[in-house]
Structure 1
Amino acid sequence: MPKASLLICDDSNMARKQLLRALPADWPVTVSQASNGQEALELLRAAHFDLLLLDLTMPVLDGYGVLTALKAEGREQKVIVVSGDVQDEAVRRVQELGALAFLKKPGDPELLRQTLDKLGFLNTPAALAKPVAPALSEPTVSFRDAFREVVNVAMGQAAALLARVLGVFVQLPIPNVNILEVSELHMALADAQRGNGLTAVCQGYIGGGICGEALLIFHDSEVADMAKLMDWQQQDFSAMEMLLDMSSVLIGACLSGIAAQLDVSFSQGHPQILGEHASIDELIRINGQRWRKTLAVEVSYSIEGHNIHFDLLLLFTEDSVPLLTNKLAYLME
């Protein structure tokens, strides 16, 4: 019986592993993998694949770039996008570029099966098909890769909420995940405080023994543009109150996305504007002991069509890392 040929393209080892495990066990399929869009295009040009499962946010060449190139080259490649960027506009754009379907991360086995069946990929009688799971080569997943993918899904959910609130398209980056010494963190945050008129909103969080601080950093020159986008015309409120309002939405949505995947529940403190209520130096002085080594997650959002950029930093305490590792263990195995 001829097997279907499948290419999975995603820069995250964990995302590829999740998709491999989500494939129907009774689907006779051979699977190849690519870690960015350029790799995928080279494989697609060299050989035929019945189906491409494609991520959007990747280095070198993203999913939009792959779809655009396939269209420009006249390749009638069947594509299902599987992405953490769940903005309505993202779904519309990939369908306009020729994607047959859009599935949100993490890949749901039943929804994937239904989609494959609907598109005619599972029309082989299940009784004749051989289980394929043991033959698939699963990538090894590190803590950093696993946590970066969790953050990727969460930041996509946060961006979708922000996009609906503001009526814009939010451009998503690949999140940076690093373990920083307290001295490195101090230098980075001190630079942010000094640098070129930045305003930072800080909000603490704790849950299941995991705790830290979220920082949302804005360029002062962009605050007025953001206020205009939010239609913040009430004279009774300041631009700083607008930032606090937006920070609560974005930080809350991102933390909720992480919590849902890790099966924890975070309680959040009140957001504060650093400099008004506390300085970055004071933040580090208070948390210095807990932050001997900090798990730092950086997400740099930008809004398409506007000169608006802001950075979200999630700073997890050193004591949180073993707990996060335990929560991620089942995803990394």
Structure 2
Amino acid sequence: MSARVLICDDSKIARKQLARGLPTDWAVEVEFAEHGQEALDMLSSKNFDVLFLDLNMPVKDGYETLEALKSFKSSPVVIVVSGDIQPQAIQRVKDMGAVAFHKKPASAEDLRHLLTSLNLFSANRNIQNINGYAPNAAEQFTLNDCLQEVSNIAMGRAASVLANMLNVFIKLPVPKVNILEVGELQMALDYSVKEDSCSAVSQGFVGAGVAFETLLIFSDSSFPDMAKLLNVAETINSVVEVELLMDVSSVLVGPFIDAFGKQLNIDFSHSHPALIAQHVKVADLVNAKRAKWKRTLAVEIVYEVENYQISCDLMMLFTEDSVSVLENLLSYLVEED
């Protein structure tokens, strides 16, 4: 008898990777949900044995989904597979009923070992290729899809470093990936940075034909809580603010780029981080770089610290020449075995 498996993840890439990583000698029928609410709707009308659940999703995230499952009379075994590897995130999902957590990406070997350890699967050497997953030939994967997934994994690595350093929980969004004209870039930043003024640190990276700039933008209202968490006792002046900016920038950007580069098999060379704006409006920040940012492939991630008034916006701004190189480098994510 086949096991019924539901994979819930907003990323098409992640759904595909997880499905094709399931044991080929496991009699299983696989279905998909793009967010928690869709998964809950499906679970209300069908019985599933196993739910693979992402955490960072739109509409209803993994935490909200786990909370809602508590009211179900019968629910599947839940395995969380996420790029968010903060210790608090792992403990929270287990406290909420998940039987296991696995970081993204999960290889076929990882999944086989995990499912065996949970007594959800036992190898049948006499049966081959009965995994019910069949790739959808009509499904198209874009550069944005691929870049969003590798950014999501890198985001989780960086957040974990910051969370461990500050002993806090970082609230993570779904990364946004778009090709933006300079005016659209300003609108995106206006939406994310809701304060009247902000400060920003920039750093350049290059490797294997890929060139980009990271821009870390802090709402100026974040400084008091940031200083508190970093145990800064001095009066907050412009010099202390710059030190705080550089400290947090190094912790967030360094691990992010390291995890991003490993997924592309690139060691990026980089410039020194530089303060490019302090206490300015978003429009002034964009104007300062308008000539350079005419049109860019942008990845945007907004980090927030739970229970503190700290918010920072990390953007990766790629050169136009990098787009075709990225498409080639990320093609491994959608290649069939």
Does the pair score TM above 0.5?
yes
The CA deviation string for residues 245-276 of structure 1, in whole angstroms up to 9 with x for no partner, is 11011111111111111111112211111136
Cα deviations across residues 66-103 of structure 1 (Å, max 9, x unaligned)? 11111133434201100010000000000001111101
Q: CA deviation at 1:330?
A: 1.7
| Structure-2 separation of matches of 1:121 and 1:188 | 44
Cα separation, partners in 2 of 1:26 and 1:215, compared to 1, 3 Å: same
Q: Which amino acid aligns with 1:307?
A: Q
* Superposition CA RMSD, Å: 2.4
Secondary structure of 1:273's counterpart equals: strand
205-214 vs 117-126, which moves further: 117-126
Q: Does 1:58 align with 2:60?
A: no
Q: 1:186-227, CA deviations, whole angstroms, 9 ceiling, x for partnerless residues? A: 666699999612111111111111111111111112112101
1:45 aligned partner: 44
- Identify the residue that residue 5 of structure 1 maps to in structure 2: 4
Aligned to 1:306: 308
**Paired residues of 1:81 and 1:94 also in contact (CA < 8 A):** yes
Structure 2, unpaired ranges of 5+? 279-283
What secondary structure, in the 3-state scheme, does the structure 2 residue paired with 1:68 have? helix
Verify: 1:224 aligned to 2:219, yes or no.
no
Within a 5 Å distance, the mapping from 1:271-286 to structure 2 comes to: 271-275=273-277, 280-285=286-291
**Percent identity between the aligned chains?**
46
How far off is 1:140 after superposition? 3.3
Find the residue that maps to 1:196 and give its secondary structure: coil
* Counterpart secondary structure, 1:73: coil
Per-residue CA deviation, residues 124-178 of structure 1 (Å, 9 max, x unaligned), is 5231454336645475322111110110000010000000011100000011100
CA distance in structure 1 between the aligned counterparts of 2:217 and 2:140, rounded to whole angstroms: 34
Deviation at 1:284, TM superposition (A): 3.2
Q: TM-score, length-normalised on structure 1?
A: 0.91
Once the two structures are overlaid, the 10-residue window that deviates more, 291-300 or 253-262, is 291-300
- In the alignment, is the contact (CA less than 8 A) between 1:169 and 1:303 conserved in 2? yes
Distance 2:135 2:325 in 1: 30
Aligned residue pair count: 327
Spell out the pairing of 1:17-166 with structure 2 (5 A cutoff): 17-123=16-122, 125-128=124-127, 130-132=129-131, 135=134, 137=136, 139-166=139-166
Q: Distance in 2 between matches of 1:225 and 1:112?
A: 40
8 Å CA contact retained: 1:274, 1:280: no
| 2:185 corresponds to | 185
Residues 9/194 of structure 1: CA separation in 2 closer, same or farther (3 Å cut):
closer
In 2, Cα distance between the equivalents of 1:281 and 1:186? Answer: 9
On the 8 A contact 2:83/2:157 being kept in 1, the answer is yes
Contact 1:6–1:30 (CA under 8 A) maintained in structure 2: yes
Q: 1:250 aligns with which of 245, 252, 265?
A: 252
**Distance in 1, Cα, partners of 2:203 & 2:127:** 56
Structure 2 CA distance for aligned equivalents of residues 47 and 16 of structure 1: 19
Q: 1:190 to 1:140 in 2, by over 3 A?
A: closer
Q: Given the superposition, is the C-alpha separation of residues 74 and 308 from structure 1 closer, same or farther in structure 2, using an over 3 Å criterion?
A: farther
What is the rounded CA distance, in whole Å, between the counterparts of 1:124 and 1:192 in structure 2? Answer: 49
Letter in 2 for 1:56: L
Q: Is the 8 A contact 1:292 1:318 kept in 2?
A: no
Provide TM-score, normalisation by structure 2: 0.90
What is the Cα deviation at residue 29 of structure 1? 0.5
What is the alpha-carbon distance in structure 1 between the residues aligned to residue 9 and residue 163 of structure 2?
A: 24
